[in-house]
Amino acid sequence: MTNSPRSVSDRTSSVGAFGLLSEPARRWVERQGWTSLRDVQERAIPAILAGGDVVVSARTAAGKTEAAFLPLLTKVEGDAAGFRIVCVSPLKALINDQANRLEGLAEACGHPLHRWHGDVSASAKRRARENPSGVVLITPESLEAILLRQGVHARPLFAGLQAVVVDELHAFIGTERGIHLQSLLTRVEAIAGRDRIDRIGLSATLGDMALAADCLRPGDGPSVRLVEGRDAGNVVKVQIRGYVRPTRVPEDAIASSRHAPGASPREDGSDPAFEAVVSDLGRILRGRTNLLFAGSRRNVEAYADALTTACGSAGVPNEFFAHHGNLSRAHREEVETRLRDDPRPSTAVATTTLELGIDIGDVAAVAQIGPGSSVSSLRQRLGRSGRRPGTSAELRIFVIEDEDGPAAHPIDRLKLGLIQSMATVDCMLGGWCEPPPAAGLHLSTLVHQTLALIVQTGGISAKAAWAILCGRGPFRSVDRVRYAALLRCMHEARSPLVEQAPGGQLMLGPGGERLASGHDFYAVFVTPEEYRVVHGGQTLGTLPLDRITLPGQTMIFVGRRWRVLEVDADARVILVEPTSAAMPPRFDGSAGPLHDHVVAEMRRILSGGDVPTYLDQTARSMLEGARHAYRELGLEAASVVEVGTGVVLVPWVGTRKLDTLAAALVAMQHKPAARRHFVEVDGCDTVRIRRTLARIAGGDHPSDAALASAVPSPAIAKYDGWLSPDLMRAVVISERLETASLRETASRVLASGTDHEPGDTPHRAGTET
């Protein structure tokens, strides 16, 4: 948006939407010096002025915020007390960004703007509560806090509400927090005594926008109007670079030649493949502003440290800075500010923390270690680069694969990290991205919302609670019978969460009182307890509590090396001092689900013959080797490979179907382990597994409930622990498994192996070369 002598009103082509705005809003636009409204604004303004629910989608920095607030502030009216517009945002940092952006516009239109989140002073919130008006920017958790703590007194705050805006709608889709938000919006409508209050969703462009509409108005997605920004994306330059990690040398060889080049990869950084990646990263990224997505916090620390060290060795100033969720807010803001405002080149080495809409400006290039978690994440990341007209987005993916060796697992020869990277890129270039998971039962969050509704109302009948949460709200797949079962197990907990008063009203039991009065009740997600890492009185960040840390131990953190001085278990503080040698700390976590479509693309790549130009020389020869191994392992024909004392099943399906197959095999007395792309079954041969798979394919397999019982450690969500085994199984069936696909998955493994009837000589994967 550059200054220009010509204002919007001079241009007849823009008079359409511009002319619909109120005079103060038009004057504000002119004062910005905009020469025209953006495409998405042109089309969103009439849609929002017409009323009803609207999803506005466009790429980052396309002007979505103004596209929503120009028309909303134009039509908001009435002098009665109460908030006119509530805008819910997933991050405190985004609320602060938005407030700076919207303050002038809101003021010009005569409406006050309130920020409302945990870092906003209690006095500012009290002022807003006592004199509610205009626009409030708020987090879901703070909205929950208002409903909980104000109870019936919250009604005047929302009675005159004219619209709800959901910022970064895509960040809520398919998540537990998204269900919470949907329930909150229903409760706000109920407390305002209104059937519907207009909802405006601001979203990144997704593969299927109908799913965003369903998220904005659960149960009535088709009534939501979609406005998609048409700003053309810039040219994308992609490269996938391969790196071979040499085979681990035998133990005695390590003992005799510990420092020999090409020896076994070690965690202290003497892994030659890691060093080659670091050296190329330094060469490619230095001198510009970039993002490097390293995948895990541990990798972020390892790469940031190695790149910083390399800068030191080269005698140049450091340009590489770690950024992840365990680092202090102050440090992260410093990195964000440097990326955005500092002319000096810098690269943030980050996890997913820099994927969301935090304003860091345009970066020159995006680099990534490994395939990443999904196509939609890759798209978000790439959207950070090449936004200026005339520039192109640059993406480089660095993939390390082990060298084929005598001790290697046969499946490793397929180079699935490289193949998944290629599949993810191909899906993205083809315009596809993952849809959110099908709606589950979300009973953990229903436990939370039931408690919250009781606190908010001071007591409510089961019938009325069901009507709001399940009838109108997001828990539509929970019928009255199942809700009664849920209330029963909430009541039968060792310390009851709910009790029934003589009049039939639901009240909190002692267990419910304890949960609802706790500080962490406002959020529906769990956070593990953590130690604060402190140096010289400054908090550097936090580390998970379960990590055993002892004085004298060294670690890499914030991209620098430290020695632990003291661990204070009571205060949960780790005191550290700088040191010279260290290893990155471990964090825990598990991988997210892989979609069927990406896995199908992987198979297409392995069975195909064309070599994409985006591969570098090493990646090309890796692909050639992987295709050779694919044929040699017989995977063109069969999806069963004998390995060691067991078999590997490769049905080429995504995580949920793979987990379902593994659960069925457990229930049928096998010993499977579901890996990222395949299932390993120990102590079993081809004949026996084919017999089992044939039974499954024929429909002779355990019931859904038996499959759910075979899933290890099913409790994941915050209040899962309060569900009965029956309800927990129902949750697992609806959210973790795809039982309807089981017969087909088994058939896929069998059907591709029609050349190998039971009794045929099975294909034997040689571990010899």
Partner DNA sequence: GACCTGCTGCGGTCTG
CA distance 156 to 141: 20
Please say which residue, 248 or 491, places its beta carbon nearer to DNA: 248
Closer to DNA by Cβ: residue 77 or 119:
119
Q: How far apart are CA 361 and CA 352, in angstroms?
A: 17
Residue listed under structure tokens 């130009």: 613
Q: In the structure encoding, which two tokens stand for residue 58, read together?
A: 């466009």
Closest distance between DNA and the C-beta of residue 153, in Å? 9
Stretch in the footprint of DNA (CB under 7 A) among 116-124, 159-167, 215-223, 472-480: 116-124
Query: 656, 736 in Cβ contact below 8 A?
Result: yes
| Span from 136-144, 239-247, 465-473, 497-505 in contact with DNA (CB under 7 A) | 136-144
Q: How far apart are CA 92 and CA 138, in angstroms?
A: 8
Q: Does 125 bind DNA (CB under 7 A)?
A: yes
Terminal Cα-to-Cα distance of the chain (whole angstroms): 62
Segment 278 to 337, residues that bind DNA, using CB under 7 A: 295-298, 324-326
User: Quick check: 123 binds DNA (CB under 7 A)?
Assistant: no
CA gyration radius for the chain? 28
Binding of DNA by 590 (CB under 7 A): yes
The residue among 394, 413, 393 whose CA lies nearest residue 403 is 413
Q: Is 749 left (phi over 0), alpha (psi -120 to 50) or beta?
A: alpha
Candidate segments 427-435, 507-515, 670-678, 700-708, binder of DNA by CB under 7 A: 670-678
The closest alpha carbon to 139, from 184, 204, 92, belongs to 92
CA dist., res. 241 & res. 187, Å (int): 51
- Asked if 592 touches DNA (CB under 7 A), the answer is yes
Containing H/E element for 625?
Answer: helix 617-632
Which one of residues 197, 523, 573, 694 is an interface residue with DNA (CB under 7 A)?
Answer: 523
Q: How far is the CB of 512 from DNA (least distance, A)?
A: 17
Q: Minimum distance from CB of 641 to DNA (Å)?
A: 17
Output the CA–CA distances (angstroms, integers) from residue 138 to 69, 108, 117, 359, in the order listed.
15, 21, 6, 18
Helices (H), 135-208: 140-150, 155-158, 176-191
- CA 539 – CA 75 distance, rounded (Å): 46
Spatial distance between the Cα atoms of 266 and 245, rounded to a whole number of angstroms: 11
User: For DNA, which is the closer residue by CB, 236 or 716?
Assistant: 716
Rounded least distance, CB 232 to DNA, Å: 28
Token pair in block for residue 394: 């640059």
Binding of DNA by 177 (CB under 7 A):
yes
**Shortest Å distance, C-beta 571 to DNA:** 17
Min separation Cβ 373 and DNA, Å: 4
| CA–CA separation, 301 and 283 (whole Å) | 19
Q: Which is nearer to DNA, 105 or 354 (CB)?
A: 354
Question: How long a stretch of residues is the chain?
Answer: 769
- H or E element, residue 40: helix 39-49
Q: Are 394 and 365 in contact (CB under 8 A)?
A: yes
Phi, psi (rounded to 5 degrees) for 543: -125, 145
Residue 525 binds DNA (CB under 7 A): yes
Binding mask 68-97 for DNA (x = CB under 7 A): ----------------------xxxx----
Size of site (CB under 7 A) for DNA: 49
Q: Which is nearer to DNA, 127 or 628 (CB)?
A: 127
Q: Could you say which residues in the range 374-403 bind DNA, by CB under 7 A?
A: 374, 377
Q: Could you give the string, one character per residue 610-649, with x where binding to DNA holds by CB under 7 A and - elsewhere?
A: ----------------------------------------
Mark the segment that binds DNA (CB under 7 A) among 78-86, 210-218, 394-402, 668-676: 668-676
Residue from 9, 36, 162, 373 touching DNA (CB under 7 A): that is 373
670 sits near DNA (criterion: CB under 7 A): no
The β-bridge partners of 242 are 399
Taking the complex as a whole, the smallest distance from the CB of residue 716 to DNA amounts, in Å, to 10
Which tokens hold the place of 472? 């109108």
Q: How far is the CB of 724 from DNA (least distance, A)?
A: 25
User: 186 or 377: whose CB is closer to DNA?
Assistant: 377
d(CA 230, CA 109): 28
- Which CB sits closer to DNA, 322 or 582? 322
For the chain, give percent helix, strand, coil, nearest 5: 45, 15, 40
Q: Which one, 109 or 375, has the nearer CB to DNA?
A: 375
Stretch that binds DNA, among 27-35, 37-45, 114-122, 194-202 (CB under 7 A): 114-122
Q: Which long-range contacts (CB under 8 A, 24 or more apart) does 10-15 make?
A: 11/35, 11/36, 14/42
352 binding DNA? (CB under 7 A): yes
Among 252, 570, 588, 610, binds DNA (CB under 7 A): 588
Among 351, 421, 457, 734, binds DNA (CB under 7 A): 351
Q: Residue numbers of the site for DNA (CB under 7 A)?
A: 90-93, 117-119, 122, 125, 139, 141-142, 145-146, 149-150, 175, 177, 295-298, 324-326, 351-353, 373-374, 377, 519-520, 522-523, 525, 527, 587-593, 655, 673-676
